[in-house]
Amino acid sequence: MGFVRSLDLAIRAALATLISGSALLGSLGIVLVLSLTGGVALSAYAAELLNAIGITVPPSVWPVVWTTVSVGGLAWFGRATGNAIRAERAALLERTTPVSRASLEEATVIDSAVIRLARQVDIPKPAVRIHSTSVPLAYTTYRSDDPIIRTGHCGTPVVVLSRGILINLSRSEMTAVLAHELAHIANDDHRLFTGVLLPLVAAETIIEDEGYPSSVTDVCASLLVFIASIGVGVFSRGRELAADRGAVTMTGDPVALATALEKLDGTGPDKPTTDLRKYARSTNAINILPSFDTASTASGLRSTHPSLETRLDHILSLSAERTESRR
The answer to whether the beta carbons of residues 16 and 192 sit under 8 Å apart is: no
**pLDDT of the residue at 293:** 37
pLDDT attached to residue 130 = 95
Q: Which pTM does this prediction carry?
A: 0.83
pLDDT score at 223: 93
Note the pLDDT of residue 145.
84
d(CA 114, CA 110): 6
Give the CA distances from residue 155 to residues 81, 137, 147, in Å, rounded to whole numbers and listed in that order: 19, 22, 7
Tell me which of 181, 210, 262, 321 is the catalytic residue. Answer: 181
Q: Is 181 a catalytic residue?
A: yes
Q: Residue 140: which H helix or E strand, with range? A: strand 138-141
Query: pLDDT of 277-306, one tens digit each?
Result: 344 444 445 555 544 434 334 457 788 888
- The per-residue pLDDT for 286 is 54
pLDDT given for residue 5 in this prediction: 58
Low-confidence ranges of the chain (pLDDT < 70): 1-5, 150-155, 209-213, 266-299, 323-327
pLDDT value at position 134? 87
